[in-house]
């Protein structure tokens, strides 16, 4: 298997979390669940497979995607297909990073997976073909980097006041949500509207997502866990509140999550039909 990431420089490094490429990925499952992370993605399929999204309850296919698609900001989990010998190149934007490249309110993509051609037109398919023709990962990354630089508009960067609120949501406990929101110099309504435009979700939704992802990191590869202590540490009112939110983001209660060994996989997605 080939797996490589691209080292970014300014200005892209301030807006993009990572660009990575993989080929010949040997999976032991065909469906995986993605939990919300607070990121927007552009995904280039380079293997010729069709990919599916699945109904939350029945796991029956309800969407088909190929070539290039945009994975918007999600508040809830999403189940998608996985293939043997897959090949993809993925752009993962930082929470604050997508708007300068899309130049449209980011909440328009909320809870959606859309064909990138519907937004970028034929140029995104032409870029995919250039990526396919590139001889090695370094050349593929360079093609994508050049394209991103043509799309980047620094005038669409969020204000310092808005970025300060987002930074506090990353680093401070959820008990301080109201205080963080109150620190914004304009009205709460203005803050929410700006968050939706630049980042996609509301401040409180992001705070909950950031907290959940930090929990997933803390429980990764651990076998002895006291859920009461975790609920208290992360500011839940009680254990039932913690379990309710965990299920909202993953569809599993915490102990089911551990019993299924999902904590031994990547923290933000896990297989639903793992074999062996």
pLDDT of 94-150, one tens digit each?
Answer: 999 999 999 899 999 999 999 999 999 999 999 999 999 999 999 999 999 999 999
What is the model's pLDDT at position 72?
98
Is 276's pLDDT higher than 70? no
d(CA 84, CA 87) in angstroms, rounded, equals: 9
What is the model's pLDDT at position 275?
66
Please state the domain extents for the chain: 1-276
Whether cis (ω within 30° of 0) applies to the bond prior to 11 is yes
CA distance to 95, 109, 152, per residue, from 166 (Å):
9, 19, 21
pLDDT over 70, % of the chain: 99
Nearest CA to 101 among 160, 150, 142, 163? 150
d(CA 224, CA 10) in angstroms, rounded, equals: 42
Domain 1-276, CATH class in plain words: mainly alpha
């Amino acid at each position: 298997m080939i797996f490589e990431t691209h080292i970014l420089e300014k200005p892209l490094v301030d807006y993009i979390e990572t660009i990575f490429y993989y080929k010949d990925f040997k999976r032991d499952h065909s469906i995986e669940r993605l939990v919300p992370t607070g990121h927007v993605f552009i995904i280039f399929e380079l293997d010729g497979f069709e990919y599916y999204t699945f109904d939350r309850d029945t796991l029956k296919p309800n969407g088909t995607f190929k070539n290039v698609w945009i994975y918007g900001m999600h508040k809830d989990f999403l189940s998608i297909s996985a293939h043997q010998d897959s090949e993809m190149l993925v752009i993962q934007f930082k929470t604050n990073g997508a708007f300068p490249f899309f130049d449209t309110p980011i909440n328009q993509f909320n809870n959606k997976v859309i064909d990138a051609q519907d937004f970028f037109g034929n140029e995104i398919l032409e870029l995919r073909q250039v990526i396919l023709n590139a001889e090695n990962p370094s050349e593929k990354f360079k093609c994508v980097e050049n394209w991103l630089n043509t799309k980047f508009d620094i005038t669409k960067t969020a204000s310092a006041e808005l970025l300060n609120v987002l930074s506090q949501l990353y680093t401070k406990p959820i008990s301080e949500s109201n205080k963080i929101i109150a620190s914004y110099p304009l009205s709460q309504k203005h803050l929410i509207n700006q968050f939706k435009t630049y980042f996609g979700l509301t401040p409180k939704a992001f705070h909950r997502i950031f907290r959940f992802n930090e929990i997933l990191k803390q429980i990764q590869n651990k076998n002895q866990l006291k859920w009461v202590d975790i609920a208290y540490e992360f500011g839940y009112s009680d254990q039932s509140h913690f379990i309710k939110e965990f299920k909202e983001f993953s569809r599993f209660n915490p102990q089911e999550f551990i019993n299924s060994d999902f904590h031994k996989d990547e923290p933000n997605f896990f297989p639903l039909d793992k074999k062996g």
